[in-house]
A and B are shown apart, each in its own frame.
Chain A
């Protein structure tokens, strides 16, 4: 029992140590070297602003988080559905895969202003669209790969049971694709938040986090801008952790998730 506790502590202790050391150094160096406040405020300043400005910062964070969440949900579901459809046609799926992968190389962010034009730059829908499109391709490509990852032996086994294509899909392809899907969802979760914030650069409600950060930076309120960045980062990590936790629960049978 104590051995497990020790081991688990050992796992996150180094990260904690690094955190403490870095924050300590940061605070110390900024003070000692008199670094200009706008470049890098002291952590203590950021934290205090994080608290004092919470009435504008936290709701702004929530607003943008909802955009990210909506985009994440829409993009991921669309990606999974698209992969399922394409996956039914084995040959088409394999032939088109390189094209999908190349399509992933397109900088979606460049399309943010167009989404703004479509959905009204102020409304949250344009940011949701950016997040959704950012999430769609990685989820689709990885889900498709997952659906194609069943081994020939597993398929032969199912054939020996005279299984229909649907039964093979349900009992073999779907379970083997789950690890791939979750990997993609973790990537998408981070992209969604970034997409929402970058999307807001091209316009958004005044109480959106990205807009808030930009306006704060524009009027030289850098402490507030950094606090806003802190919130954005926390929210991104939160979404990622939520997905990672879901993965641990769903994939509890997998030796990999147990090990990590």
Chain B
């Protein structure tokens, strides 16, 4: 919601509204982060002073100081290894690769599914319950089987992480399919009638009318999908024993938690950032593509 008025600073310089809004947003994010850090340390201090043990015991292991976590980034996790942050960055790229592949393939499958389903109420009634139900199956449990099945079928360089990408796809296609369907259905029936008077083919109606009408829903789904693909990638790495990604790092550092808790925390911070970055990328893409859309439907 940008206003048409410009923001003025004391003095004579005028900052254009969109930049002012972005700065304001950034300031808010910083404020929230500062508040979170402050809350963290305050909680730590209160609970350690009073010795309360509910909901959980607080000490330097269960809640390392924020500064300790920050410092952990620049130190190597193990002897003769590069700094933690370098290691984590590599693992992040590995996981991001899986998530991105999962996101792309899942989005395509989701779109296709939505586009097919919109044309047939029969198909909808037949398939939707299973599409919804598919998400109740804990993929973590199926992951090992997926890996064993998929890996041999993949070309050499894709093996290993490719299977995880498949798992990420599984989590991604669902929100995209459901939202694409809803979006395509949202086209004004009168507009559809209009297209028919032009003897428009189904393709034309799909492309010129339903598709643009569905964009807000599709982007809403892509935002969910961005998160889902990251979650899928991390979860997928757990049972596959892949060391190269964040999932592997989590398992590793979990084993050392009682000695070096800050490393697991550092990994989690990076994982959180990965999720947020994916999300922000989709939001920015939306702003670029749907620049002229007057309305946003969630």
A–B contact with Cβ pairs below 8 Å: the answer is: yes
A residues near B (Cβ < 8 Å) are 10-15, 17-19, 22, 38-40, 95-96, 98-99, 101-111, 113-114, 116-119, 145, 190, 193-194, 197-198, 201-202, 210, 213-214, 217, 222, 225, 228-229, 232-233, 236-237, 240
Q: Enumerate chain A residues within 8 angstroms of B265, measured Cβ to Cβ.
A: 114
Q: A222 vs B240: C-alpha distance in the bound complex, in angstroms?
A: 16
Q: Quick check: B226 and A105 within 8 Å, CB to CB?
A: yes
Expressed in whole angstroms, the Cα–Cα distance for A116 and B55 within the complex equals 13
Contacts of A104 in B (CB 8 A): 227, 279
Question: In the complex, what residues of A have CB within 8 A of residue B272's CB?
Answer: 106-107, 110
Task: Please provide the chain B residues from 226 to 277 with a CB less than 8 Å away from any CB of chain A in the complex.
Answer: 226-227, 230-231, 234-235, 238-239, 246, 250-251, 254, 257-258, 261, 264-265, 267-268, 271-272, 274-276
Which B129-160 residues sit within 8 Å CB-CB of chain A?
A: 129-130, 132-133, 135-138, 140-142, 144-145, 148-149
Pick the contact of B275: A11, A105, A114, A213 (CB < 8 A).
A105
On whether the beta carbons of A107 and B234 are closer than 8 Å, the reply is yes
Q: Is B278 an interface residue (CB 8 A)?
A: yes
B127 to chain A, nearest CB (A): 6
Q: Which of A39, A95, A118 contacts B62 (CB 8 A)?
A: A118
Please determine whether A197 and B254 come into contact, CB atoms closer than 8 angstroms. no
Q: Contact: A107 with B275, CB < 8 Å? A: yes
| Dominant SS among interface residues on chain B | helix
Q: With the chains together, A134 CA to B290 CA distance in Å? A: 30
Q: How far is the CB of B174 from chain A (nearest CB, A)?
A: 10
What are some 12 contacts across the A-B interface (CB < 8 A)? A15-B126, A18-B126, A109-B234, A114-B265, A118-B57, A118-B62, A145-B298, A193-B136, A197-B141, A201-B140, A232-B136, A232-B137
Stretch at the interface among B25-33, B80-88, B101-109, B186-194: B25-33
Closest to A202 in B: B254
A110, B145: Cβ atoms under 8 Å? Answer: no
Shortest beta-carbon distance from B276 to chain A in Å? 5
**Given contacts A39-B148, A39-B149, A111-B268, is CB(A229)–CB(B138) below 8 Å?**
yes
Q: Which residues of B contact A (CB under 8 A)?
A: 25, 28-29, 32, 55-57, 61-62, 122-123, 125-130, 132-133, 135-138, 140-142, 144-145, 148-149, 223, 226-227, 230-231, 234-235, 238-239, 246, 250-251, 254, 257-258, 261, 264-265, 267-268, 271-272, 274-276, 278-280, 298
Which residues of the partner chain B approach A10 to less than 8 Å between Cβ atoms?
Answer: 125
A82 to B256, alpha carbons, bound, how many Å?
Answer: 35
Q: Determine the chain A residues whose CB is within 8 A of the CB of B129 once the complex forms.
A: 15
Which residue of chain B has its CB nearest to the CB of A199? B140
The docked-state distance in angstroms from the alpha carbon of A210 to that of B123 is 33
Q: In the complex the two chains form, is B122's CB within 8 Å of A225's CB?
A: no
A147 to B191, CA, bound (A): 32
Q: Chain A residues near B149 (CB, 8 Å)?
A: 39
